[in-house]
Structure 1
Amino acid sequence: MTSPANNILIIGGGFSGMSAAIQLRKLGVAVEVAEIDPGWRSYGAGISLGGATLRAFKTLGILDQFLEHGAAADGVDLLLPHGQHLATLPTPRLAGDDVPGGGAIMRPVLAKILADATIASGAKVRLGCTFTSLRQHADGVEVSFTDGTVGNYDLVIGADGLYSKVRETLMPEAPKPRYSGQCVWRAVLPRPAEVERAMMWVGPKIKTGVNPVSRDRMYLFVTEDRADNVQIDPARFTDMLTDLLVPFAAPLMQQCRAQLQQMGADAQIVYRPLEALLIPQPWHRGRVVLIGDTVHATTPHMASGACIGIEDAIVLADELDGADTIEQALAGFEARRWERCRMVVENSSRLGEIEIAGGDKAEHSRIMHATHMALAAPI
């Protein structure tokens, strides 16, 4: 394996950044990860994952760890608020005939799996540290860090998320994240025996669901329309979330409601306004390239935000492997990623618009089906 970049800095130690470190180390290049959080923490409850994500895990080499610590199953059950079963959406087995087509895991657990793999890869990880300046020159990028050190790199990868400092530095003219008009609530609850796979109850204006994240836990999610992007006092989380579940008479939903009232803060309730971002290409300037949420943050309607960020890392490493120049590799990366990432961001946003407007359910179903089919294609 050869690469035109032999010394690479990744700014941001989230899912995309860690995946890039893991894949790039397979090329034998030197990799540093600069992560601003000294605890390298990942916040949040559960994260739902489709077959394309599990396929990416297999490429990274972490699929077995996911299957051990998360939960995987085939299909997604759709139900009405009172519990009547409507349909079971198929989830193709993209990671292999012996691997279920989807699943979920606690975000901190997945972050730990990726962090362990990053360290095991031999990448150098600098915690509590980020950049203060990027100065490009003919042979690379000189980076000054918050700890007072300076380094020179053949390539810098910005993977520092939706509110990326690298993006602001590199592309000050770029669009800003846009609030979608929806928010999502998540909580962690005990997993009843009857919850074997993802289940969703679809109401007129609110959608709720559960997904197993381990052998004994599941996460609850509720999507709510909210015109204004406002902060909410965490002290109100339990009451607000349980109120949203009142119209869902299905026994399991009412069981979840009772558990939330009993558990309170122990349910780890998370409230998140849904924002999206799609930066026009090119996603690089010289020898600095952006991946993941820095350039294509999506709402969770297709459960594919983490997927396309991790895929970015895999494709970037693939394009660097054997390329004659860094510019050639970055052009190849962007050409392979644009349509897939655009599709996920725009289709997810459209699903949210339909839900807010109470629009055409047939269009909603067509978009979901078409997106699932496209995600099944190789990257």
Structure 2
Amino acid sequence: MGMAQDHICSVTSALVVGGGIGGMAAAISLAERGVAVSLIDLDPQWRVYGAGITITGPTLRAYRRLGLLDEIKREGAITSRTRLFRFDGTLLHILEEPVIEEGLPATGGIMRPTLHRIMQRRVEQLALPVRLGVTVSAMEERDDAVNVTLSNGEEARYDLVIGADGVSSTIRQLAFPHMQPPRPTGQGCWRISIRKPPGLEDGEFFLGHDNPCGITLCGADTVYLWMLTPHEDRENFMDDAELFRTLKALLADFGGNAGWIRDTMTMNDWVNYRPLVAALQPRPWSMGRVVLLGDAAHATTPHLASGAGMAVESAIALAEELASHDDVRAGLDAYEARRFDRCRDVIETSVAMGELQLAHRPPDQHANLLEGALCRLNQPF
């Protein structure tokens, strides 16, 4: 389990708005430091949608700090290398992924619903109250606390409100007038979840095509394939059959395991498409006793496979800074100072990589950006 802290936290109660990766990480981190945490999520079923996600070394490090690494290793897939192919299936290079901490796996992947369940189990073990089907409709700060009105009319009072409610954050809209919604980047991401191609044991990237593509292992017999394409609005309105046909056609030029997936995929394999958006929200990330983390504050694209990792890191950093400062304001300021430049680096590099892809720039430019960013991400957060 995560490491409890001896220091008394500068808040005794907190409301976490949003039960996704960032919200659950914040709830777990604060609860382990003695904070009475309540968590709410707008989805009455508290589900998660999505295929798999890549879990980089820095993300695995953050999950080890949460005490969840063993479960991720058991229920996901861990690898130590990535194979780089030309899009036709010709092997170009085997990239040995660095181990950034002793005893920490190099990289891996997991199905997003599986990761969600692992985190939900920890929330339940901590006996945190979880309210579903509600969000916040109004907030008022008074006498060193926040009076909160929920969308079902209930009222409550907390030392701190944490907005971890995603790219369309309600908390951001209510309390942060200097911020704007994330902006489209001009690319979209396709994903398909499917059984593992025979013999695939590592992550794979397919390069040299206008539409970059890759495969991530997510379990004993599960992978997801992703592909980045220029975004066209018509794709927002595709039904399942159109999504299937379009992705199959986009994979026409590919060989190797990407070609195997194209030839093997059926309508039973889940295909998803979403336009990419990104935003580093301007400072401050806290207003009084309301603070943002995760996609609400630092939404990124998947180019560095770091969206989930950044959310978990921010959650841990927020809890650590609140626990190491007697004053709430000082703790929130320290959290923001600790996170802003790191999140900016991830977002700016990810967006720049997408711009290179849209402009069909040479792969070595892409590789140089990627290598530099991954080296910086491996540094302690």
After TM superposition, give the deviation of residue 360 of structure 1 in Å. 4.0
Instruction: Give runs of aligned pairs for residues 26-65 of structure 1, distance below 5 A.
Output: 26-65=32-71
Which residue of 1 is the match for residue 127 of structure 2?
Answer: 122
| Aligned counterparts of 1:226 and 1:139: Cα–Cα separation in 2 | 46
| Aligned counterparts of 1:198 and 1:40: Cα–Cα separation in 2 | 30
1:5-43: CA deviation from partner (whole Å, max 9, x where unpaired): 101110010100000011101111100001111100000
Q: How many corresponding residue pairs?
A: 374
Say which of 79, 90, 99 aligns to 2:85. Answer: 79
| Aligned counterparts of 1:241 and 1:84: Cα–Cα separation in 2 | 21
| Aligned counterparts of 1:274 and 1:322: Cα–Cα separation in 2 | 36
| Aligned counterparts of 2:221 and 2:214: Cα–Cα separation in 1 | 17
Which residue of 1 is the match for residue 245 of structure 2?
Answer: 239
Of residues 229-238 and 131-140 in structure 1, the stretch that sits farther from structure 2 once superposed is 229-238
Which residue of 2 is the match for residue 205 of structure 1?
Answer: 210
1:35-68: CA deviation from partner (whole Å, max 9, x where unpaired): 1111000001111110000011111011111011
1:85-136: CA deviation from partner (whole Å, max 9, x where unpaired): 1122332223533x42111111111001011111112321111121110111
1:347 aligns with 2:346: no
Which residue of 2 is the match for residue 136 of structure 1?
Answer: 141
- Report if aligned partners of 1:181, 1:229 keep a CA contact under 8 Å in 2: no
SS at match of 1:144: strand
Distance verdict in 2 for CA 1:185–1:254, change over 3 Å:
same
RMSD: 1.3
| Aligned counterparts of 2:93 and 2:230: Cα–Cα separation in 1 | 24
- Report if aligned partners of 2:197, 2:260 keep a CA contact under 8 Å in 1: no
| Aligned counterparts of 2:235 and 2:191: Cα–Cα separation in 1 | 17
SS at match of 2:47: coil
- Report if aligned partners of 2:190, 2:228 keep a CA contact under 8 Å in 1: yes
| Aligned counterparts of 2:275 and 2:138: Cα–Cα separation in 1 | 31
- Report if aligned partners of 1:19, 1:313 keep a CA contact under 8 Å in 2: yes
After TM superposition, give the deviation of residue 227 of structure 1 in Å. 5.0
Q: TM-score, normalised by structure 2?
A: 0.95
The percentage of aligned residue pairs carrying the same residue is: 37
Which residue of 2 is the match for residue 224 of structure 1?
Answer: 229
After TM superposition, give the deviation of residue 230 of structure 1 in Å. 4.8
Consecutive unaligned residues in structure 1, runs of 5 or more? none
Which residue of 1 is the match for residue 380 of structure 2?
Answer: 378
Say which of 279, 291, 297 aligns to 1:295. Answer: 297
| Aligned counterparts of 2:234 and 2:169: Cα–Cα separation in 1 | 20
- Report if aligned partners of 2:207, 2:363 keep a CA contact under 8 Å in 1: no
| Aligned counterparts of 1:90 and 1:268: Cα–Cα separation in 2 | 30
Which residue of 1 is the match for residue 3 of structure 2?
Answer: none
Amino acid at match of 2:204: M
Consecutive unaligned residues in structure 2, runs of 5 or more? 1-6
1:251-279: CA deviation from partner (whole Å, max 9, x where unpaired): 4222111211xx21x11111111111110
Which residue of 1 is the match for residue 323 of structure 2?
Answer: 321
Q: TM-score, normalised by structure 1?
A: 0.96
